[in-house]
Amino acid sequence: MSKNNKKYTYKIIFSYDGSRFCGSAKQPNMNCVQNMLDEALKTVGIFTPSIFASRTDKGVHAKCNVAKIESNYKLNEKFVIKKLNYVLNGIFIKNLIICEFEPRFDAKIRSYRYIISPKINAFNKAFLCHYEKNINLNLLKEAIKIYEGEHNFKEFCLSLDKDKNTIRTIHKTRIYTYKNMIIFNFFANGFLRGQIRLMMDFLLKINEGKLNLNDLKEQISGIKSHSRTLASPNGLYLKSISY
């Protein structure tokens, strides 16, 4: 320990294969991302639990999640990254930066990506949402724009505490095609539990004619709830967190 008991704070940036884990948040005796990361951190002398910037559900992947860790010693970043990547499976440490920050509340923008494809195989089925129906891209581009702006997303989240603030601002949405895939992007100040999967399921039902644009406007305005079904976690990625 340093002479003045100083704590060194680090931002650790990492990706993971969500199909290997029971979600990101720590749960007793469960194979969760945070459990595995905290156990690996012990091998480099860090015993304080990590604090994640964002939580993801079972099966949801992360290209870039962020956590705060504290050490009693100043770390050799290159050595720690190499050591952690050696002992971890399904999690990859991308960077380690010394800095003072609050991982959840200092985050300005969180972005998620959802990928659907008519073709899957044994190697990509956990990473794509299998969807064989024809896509009306113009209709979906019109529908996804309805999510933009500040809204009360209480009808687009899983069960919450009564006092939970369900107002979020979606700054930008985007849909584009890449090869045989359709890729959906959402950029917001934050997301509620299950929000992206509920919003995606609604979009796909609009594509199939089961719901329409007015139904979406009614649900997002809190006038009437039309659908609360979750889309598959396969194909959903926490893409980035900006500070």
Per-residue pLDDT tens listing for the chain (243 residues): 445 678 999 999 999 999 999 999 999 989 999 999 999 999 999 999 999 999 999 999 999 999 999 999 999 999 999 999 999 999 999 999 999 999 999 999 999 999 999 999 999 999 999 999 999 999 999 999 999 999 999 999 987 666 689 999 999 999 999 999 999 999 999 999 999 999 999 999 999 999 999 999 999 999 999 999 999 999 999 999 999
Mark which of 73, 98, 123 sits at the end of a domain.
Answer: 98
pLDDT of residue 161: 61
Neighbours of 95 (CB within 10 A): 13
Look at residue 231 and tell me if it is in a domain: yes
Q: How far apart are CA 93 and CA 87, in angstroms?
A: 11
Beta bridge partners of 240: 111
Catalytic annotation, residues: 57
* Number of H-type helices and E-type strands within the chain: 5, 10
Do 149 and 86 share a structural domain? no
Q: How far is CA 72 from the centre of its chain?
A: 30
DSSP E strands, 118-207: 129-130, 149-152, 167-178, 181-188
Query: 157: Cβ–Cβ under 8 A, 6 or more apart, which residues?
Result: 166, 192, 193, 194, 195, 198
pLDDT of residue 3: 52
Do 234 and 175 share a structural domain? yes
DSSP 19: G
Q: How far apart are CA 83 and CA 187, in angstroms?
A: 33
pLDDT of residue 2: 45
pTM of the shown model: 0.93
Do 192 and 157 share a structural domain? yes
Mark which of 70, 98, 126 sits at the end of a domain.
Answer: 98
